[in-house]
Structure 1
Amino acid sequence: MKWIDSLRHYFEKHGFAVSSRFADKLGISVSNVRLFFIYISFVTLGFSFGIYLTLAFLLRLKDMIYTKRNSVFDL
């Protein structure tokens, strides 16, 4: 059971914050978004996990492209 806890801790720490960013954008609870991904993954047999990873990749790519600069000298 120790490896399950370490695996859970790893995914909680490095989960790309997709669920929290969507919850902030939609104005709903993070736990509701996570439950949605869990339930939809059972219904679609893992297809939503692929969507989740795609969204995480796109959000990270967006963050790399659109960085907020404070001044002109940050170029």
Structure 2
Amino acid sequence: MKWFDNIKYFFERNGFEVSTRFAERLGMKAKNVRLFFIYLTFATFGIWFAVYLTLAFLLKLKDLIYTKRTSVFDL
């Protein structure tokens, strides 16, 4: 478990410093920068999920409208 703690400490020391340095450059709190990136991640995922649902709905609608009927009595 010592190696895991070393890896965790490395990423905490170097990875979290990115948002801290970015916040210092912008004159903001690091907490607000981290929250912004979290919200941005969820927003971009949500947009593509909405696009996926819209396309699925349109394909289903197309299948309902343009169905091949084998005879006149399939109405």
TM-score (norm. length: structure 1): 0.42
- Structure exhibiting the larger radius of gyration computed from Cα positions: 2
| Structure 1 or 2: more helix by fraction | 2
